[in-house]
Amino acid sequence: GQQLNQSPQSMFIQEGEDVSMNCTSSSIFNTWLWYKQDPGEGPVLLIALYKAGELTSNGRLTAQFGITRKDSFLNISASIPSDVGIYFCAGFDMEYGNKLVFGAGTILRVKS
């Protein structure tokens, strides 16, 4: 089935540093979503992107919907310990029904 290539697989950064992760696909998506999952919890929606080229912020988080509709990135500025978790990108397109296609996740660890 469809897959998104998400990178990096994991990151171990110093508190205060900025973080960047991205997802790419061989197919076009009409919607890109970014989620964060804490251990033992369900994913929480961080940002939803609906238009090619769209740049959206949510606090220290910024995400962009690539102009080709085949990629998206998520930036976290000035990381803090509570940013630790797994970040997933997800793409949506009616061609695949109403199902989300998920990336493999980026594990973020923050050293304080």
Q: What is the sign, positive or negative, of the torsion defined by CA atoms of 8, 11, 13, 17? A: positive
| Other beta carbons less than 10 A from residue 50's beta carbon | 12
- Closer Cβ to another protein, 50 or 78, answer by number: 50
Rounded to a whole number of angstroms, the minimum distance from the CB of residue 97 to another protein is 7
52: contact with another protein by CB under 8 A: no
Site residues for another protein, 88-107, by CB under 8 A, read 88, 90, 92, 97-100, 102-105, 107
- CB burial of residue 67 (10 Å; 0-12, 13-18, 19+): exposed
Task: Decide: residue 1, CB within 10 A, 0-12 exposed, 13-18 middle, 19+ buried.
Answer: exposed
Q: Which stretch binds another protein (CB under 8 A): 17-25, 44-52, 58-66, 75-83?
A: 44-52
Contact present, 10 and 105 (Cβ < 8 Å): no
Q: Which of 5, 8, 17, 45 binds another protein (CB under 8 A)?
A: 45
Q: Is 12 in the site for another protein (CB under 8 A)?
A: no
- The residue count for binding another protein (CB under 8 A) is 24
